[in-house]
Amino acid sequence: MTWIPPEEYVKTIANATGYAGLYFTDTAGRPVQLRAVRPEDTWQWPGGNMDPGDFARLKATDDARRTGTVAYLER
């Protein structure tokens, strides 16, 4: 086994992706989802990939607002 300096080893590790999403239910406890644009037969929850410095709760809420889904956050 060959030793690799840490700064070189880090370059070989895949970058991670963060994702934030919201899960809504109606009053009967059934999930409320959005219909995807493509493919049209796919359903999804509002959310999106996070950029460095994003906060999961804010990212998910922003995406919900952008898609027309109303989101309320409890504090």
CA distance 58 to 35: 22
44, part of any domain: yes
13, part of any domain: no
**Which structural domain, as residue segments, surrounds residue 44?**
34-69
1, part of any domain: no
54, part of any domain: yes
Domains in the chain, number: 1
pLDDT per position as a tens digit, 32-57: 777 767 776 777 777 777 877 888 88
The neighbouring-strand residues paired with 21 are 47
Task: Look at the pTM and tell me if it is higher than 0.75.
Answer: no
Using a pLDDT cut of 90, give the percent of the chain over it: 0
Q: What are phi and psi of 10, to 5 degrees?
A: -60, -35
24, part of any domain: no
